[in-house]
Amino acid sequence: MRVALFLTCVNDTLYPDTGRAVVKLLTRLGVEVDFPMAQTCCGQAHYNTGYRHEAEPLARHFSDVFGEYEAIVTPSGSCGAMVRELYPRMGERARAEGRGDTLAATLAPVVPKTYELTEFLVDVLGVTEVGAYYPHTVTYHPTCHGLRGLGLGDRPRRLLQAVKGLELRELPGADECCGFGGTFALKNSDVSAAMGADKVRNAESTGAEVLCAADNSCLMHIGGTMTRLRTGMRPVHIAEILASTEAEPAL
Amino acid sequence: MSSREQILGRVRRALADVPRDGAPDGPDGPKKSDGPNRSDGSHGPGQVAGYEEAVAREYLREHGERSAAQTAELLAENLADYRALVHRCTEDELPSLIGRLFADHGTRTVLAPAGLDPAWLSATDVERVEDRAESTAHELDGVDSVVTACAVAIAETGTIVLDGGPDQGRRRITLVPDHHVCVVRVPGQVVSSVPQALERLDPARPLTWISGPSATSDIELDRVEGVHGPRTLEVVLVD
Amino acid sequence: MSGTFVGMPAFPKAAQEAVGNPTLRANLRHATHTIRAKRAAAVAEVSDWAALREAGKQIKDHTLRHLDRYLVQLEESVTAAGGTVHWAADADEANRIVTRLVKETGESEVVKVKSMATQEIGLNEALEAEGIRAYETDLAELIVQLGKDRPSHILVPAIHRNRGEIRDIFAAEMSEWGRPAPEGLTDTPAELAEAARLHLREKFLRARVGVSGANFMVAETGTLVVVESEGNGRMCLTLPETLISVVGIEKIVPTWRDLEVFLQTLPRSSTAERMNPYTSTWTGTTDGDGPRTFHLVLLDNGRTDTLADEVGRQALRCIRCSACLNVCPVYERAGGHAYGSVYPGPIGAILSPQLRGTGSEIDASLPYASSLCGACYEVCPVAIDIPEVLVHLRERVVQGGPVTLEGNRTVLKPAKGHAAERAAMRAARWAFARPGALRAGQRLASRTRRLHPRTLPGPGRAWSGSRDLPPVPAEPFRDWWQRTNGGDAGEGRAK
């Protein structure tokens, strides 16, 4: 099976390790991975900040770049939700504004074949045991757009539970938002920081070494709060845990 | 232009984009319904045509299957869960039970609606106070207890409903006194669910749905029983 | 603290106060977490919750789509049952109508059941200006009124107060308004409730005019419904000779049967009970039982403007249960006052800027008072997609566009104060439409990475005031991919 990796602009720029982990993991599972070099950004930040019209060319670009692939896999719950939930809505809005069906028709092909990584593993590849080894205590934070937008459910936890050496600790208040929220983190920084601090304290209370999530944007906020609060915990993307093996263990 | 015309005009302009479900506003406007939903589930002509089809009612008419005895049991359980005091007895035992409840409560005066079965108070010698049209709220405030029947009781929610019938009296008599004894006939007056209760009730009558004694969650969102309504609610289930 | 919301600062500034107040934070955290868990349990009890939610949504949507018809039908039904219907286009008109009706009774005081609509229009202040005293009788409203405070929650307006604060307010203020608090009042909730009972009973027993709102109005029968817990509602609805109900026009349901949905979903979503202690329904007037005169004031006050917006109109489905407040992480930290409206929390963030427009600082900031986490949508018993409307209103703020204000279609200009953001968004869009430009930027960031500080000065402090920045990697992923042909694993397959 040949899939396109939609890494996302944030991961491409700031978290290349996550991208390398996804490639390593999928390849190990027999998937042929391509990284279309023309990919940029899904337009989520624009859309969610109120610039839907600025997001439209980015969505069209996404569709041009990824339209031909069998499946599109992304290690980001929120960018996955952008394509799956909000691209159709952008098409509807354009129609309501009297701009016809063109946008909806352009975006339609990529919507059903875009998968968040854990969803792709469990639903498409049908695996929960991916041959990973990660000898650390981990607590899992389900990010909002993965949890409530895509409905990832217990898929990430099932994958983590099957990882050799990994001890999973329950995160109190797991389903509460970490406070990132894109531009929310800047526009309402006091509230965002308070939410982040509470999330980090809950994570600390588990005694785990690692807080794991399926979205680096949230991890950037949580991790930045962790170092500021000098907790000694570290944020790790789930792809890096699942890619880790006894031969090549991740940190 | 009157505000009525102004508001209705704004509503119509606001809905310019909305398909009207094939129900044009005729020159006569909507017609008056001939009453609440009937037992066959049909409705009067007041609604927009096709209303029945417009709403998917895939929810349950009741939650779970129960025998009449189990339904009464559930009613008792849920009433008690919200701090109503629940008693069960036979028809024959009812007068003495009511007498005992008054004695236990220290009742000296009791208010009973005019249509209440006089047998219910045959085993007590507490002073019976009549509710007269001119009775003031202050006078009611001096009464210790009130005893009434009910219109229907809902097992799933632990609710009794009063509809102002002759054995229930006007609304204020079950409100101002601090002790309310309500008699429910089992199984005749007990339904399982809210949908079943609404089918039995007449919206033209003033209704009071009571689920336990007065309560508040206003202090730290924690439930506390007992504010303005009767602080003691005793429900007698008569088999 | 002032009793009104006029001149509120923007949300982020207003929220600062709450975020920095440990007592308030603890009160809100305790209360919202308590009710959150209870609601989840109450909802889990009914296996058909999703179907009830969907039916509630559809009933409300249908009603809104035919609101003109149902309003006329309601008016006929209420009139036929002995009530009098008044129409109020805005807050001023509603206040004038109620003031006139009270004056016609010759009374100078009224007892009130908690009502969001009368708070929204500032009825108490309007009555006060005409020499009429309005007594709030809901326990939480009483706490707010005695404390000269503002409500901060839809269901529990005094949620920001803990029992100790409530005790102090009762002890200090009750004597100003009537019967003083008992000597030696403690802070146990039962004693506080008893103090309120005694204080208010004398008012109930002498009241000749009651003012209420309503949770539902049934078009087919003309029935109004008030859902409550304490019995203050029953007092106000039954003891006075005159009852005046002020109700938003969106509170209609078509049929009596429709209540079977909402009387199941509202209590469980609101107080997390199977059923609230008291629900009163009345249809016009009844001989010998309850008020002899009944007036219904139908209130627009921005609702038809909201109805005109095809994305935003779903906010009118709201049944004011407040479940969205109780699960909202932003509400929990910012508190209700920061929302500058009687409608705080997620629903307030979409309702206030629609009812009032986005012209003021606070209203233009409310659509941003959310991380779009979606918890509010998940618990909403009428499935209002609050995040969708928030984003839609953000668009209205930054891009402008068509909007209806006081019944007139107009086109809003983009709001001021977003110029820099708009320029940044355009620049980002430009770069993202050109992979080469994105790559140039990434490379520049990587090459200069040793020069990057972990914290930022100026506006960057919005991030780095509380969070470190992530280190920039030596090369972006795409450079690695190209350099290594997708790494060992992907060798030979890179384009």
CB burial readout A130-142, b (16+ within 10 A) else e = bbbbbebebbbbb
Report helix angle C386-399 to C345-355, nearest 10: 40
Dihedral Cα A202, A203, A207, A212, nearest 10 deg: 160
Tell whether C292 is within 8 A of chain B (Cβ). no
- pLDDT for C117: 97
Helix residue ranges per DSSP H, C66-115: 67-80, 91-105
| CB within 8 Å: C66 and B17 | no
Tell whether C307 is within 8 A of chain B (Cβ). yes
- Kindly give the pairing relationship between strand C401-405 and strand C408-412: antiparallel
Give the predicted TM-score (pTM) of the model.
Answer: 0.95
Q: Tell me the pLDDT tens digit for each residue of A35-73.
A: 999 999 999 999 999 999 999 999 999 999 999 999 999
Amino acid letter, C180? P
Rounded to the nearest angstrom, the minimum Cα separation between C32 and chain A is 13
Distance CA C349, CA B75 (A): 40
From first CA to last CA, the distance across chain B in angstroms is 61
User: In degrees, to the nearest 5, what angle opens at C-alpha A19 toward C-alphas A13 and A21?
Assistant: 145
Residue B29 reports pLDDT greater than 80 = no
Rg (CA), chain A: 18
Percentage with pLDDT > 70 across chain A? 100
Which one of B1, B4, B10 would you mutate to disrupt binding with C, by most C Cβ within 10 Å of its Cβ?
A: B10
| CB within 8 Å: C140 and B203 | no
Say if CB C260 and CB B191 are below 8 A apart: no
Residue B21: band (very low, low, confident or very high) from pLDDT cuts 50, 70, 90: low
Chains that touch A (3 or more CB pairs under 8 A): C
Q: Which two tokens stand for residue B116?
A: 């209440």
Q: Which two tokens stand for residue B112?
A: 């009973």
Choose among C127, C120, C183, C131: nearest CA to C157: C120
Distance CA C442, CA A8 (A): 13
**In B2-118, which ranges are E strands?**
85-89, 109-111
| CB within 8 Å: B10 and C304 | yes
Residue B39 reports pLDDT greater than 60 = no
Query: Considering only alpha carbons, which residue of chain A is nearest residue C338?
Result: A191
Which one of C52, C275, C325 would you mutate to disrupt binding with B, by most B Cβ within 10 Å of its Cβ?
A: C275
Question: Which residue is listed with tokens 């730290």?
Answer: B220
Choose among C244, C296, C303: nearest CA to C89: C303
- For residue C40, give the DSSP letter: H
Instruction: Write the CB contacts of A121 (distance below 8 Å, at least 6 apart in sequence).
Output: A29, A127, A128, A130, A155, A159, A242
Instruction: Write the CB contacts of A81 (distance below 8 Å, at least 6 apart in sequence).
Output: A116, A145, A146, A149, A150
Query: Considering only alpha carbons, which residue of chain A is nearest residue C415?
Result: A50
Distance CA C361, CA B220 (A): 31
Give mean pLDDT, residues B189-215.
97
Amino acid letter, C167? R
Say if CB C120 and CB C302 are below 8 A apart: no
| CB within 8 Å: A195 and C426 | no
Q: Tell me the pLDDT tens digit for each residue of C48-66.
A: 999 999 999 999 999 999 9
Amino acid letter, A245? T
Residue B20 reports pLDDT greater than 80 = no
Q: Which two tokens stand for residue A47?
A: 């859309």
Interface of C with B in 229-248 (CB under 8 A): 229-232, 234-235, 237-239
Residue B133: band (very low, low, confident or very high) from pLDDT cuts 50, 70, 90: confident
Tell whether C377 is within 8 A of chain A (Cβ). yes
- pLDDT for C141: 94
**In A51-160, which ranges are E strands?**
71-74, 114-116, 137-140
Total number of residues shown for chain B: 239
Q: How many CB atoms lie within 10 A of CB C489?
A: 17
Q: Tell me the pLDDT tens digit for each residue of B43-99.
A: 444 557 778 888 999 999 999 999 999 999 999 999 999 999 999 999 999 999 999
Instruction: Write the CB contacts of B11 (distance below 8 Å, at least 6 apart in sequence).
Output: C67, C68, C71, C249, C304, C307
Rounded to the nearest angstrom, the minimum Cα separation between A183 and chain C is 8
Per-residue pLDDT of chain C (495 residues; tens, 9 = 90+): 345 576 778 999 999 999 999 999 998 999 999 999 999 999 999 999 999 999 999 999 999 999 999 999 999 999 999 999 999 999 999 999 999 999 999 999 999 999 999 999 999 999 999 999 999 999 999 999 999 999 999 999 999 999 999 999 999 999 999 999 999 999 999 999 999 999 999 999 999 999 999 999 999 999 999 999 999 999 999 999 999 999 999 999 999 999 999 999 999 999 999 999 999 999 999 999 999 999 999 999 999 999 999 999 999 999 999 999 999 999 999 999 999 999 999 999 999 999 999 999 999 999 999 999 999 999 999 999 999 999 999 999 999 989 999 999 999 998 877 888 888 888 888 888 888 888 888 888 888 888 887 777 777 888 988 999 999 999 999 999 999 988 765 444 443
Q: Which two tokens stand for residue A129?
A: 């045991």
Burial (0-12, 13-18, 19+ Cβ within 10 Å), C6: exposed
- pLDDT for B34: 42
Tell whether C32 is within 8 A of chain B (Cβ). yes
Distance CA B97, CA B102 (A): 9
Which one of C78, C260, C317 would you mutate to disrupt binding with B, by most B Cβ within 10 Å of its Cβ?
A: C260
- pLDDT for C418: 83
Give whole-number Cα distances, A173 to A88, A137, A142, A152, A198, in Å: 31, 18, 10, 17, 9
Choose among B239, B236, B163: nearest CA to B197: B163
Chain A residues close to C449, C-beta within 8 Å: none
Helix H or strand E segment including A34:
strand A32-34
Q: Tell me the pLDDT tens digit for each residue of A191-245.
A: 999 999 999 999 999 999 999 999 999 999 999 999 999 999 999 999 999 999 9
- pLDDT for B46: 54
Mean pLDDT value across chain A: 96
Option in B137, B141, B210 nearest C277 (CB)? B210
| CB within 8 Å: C221 and B172 | no
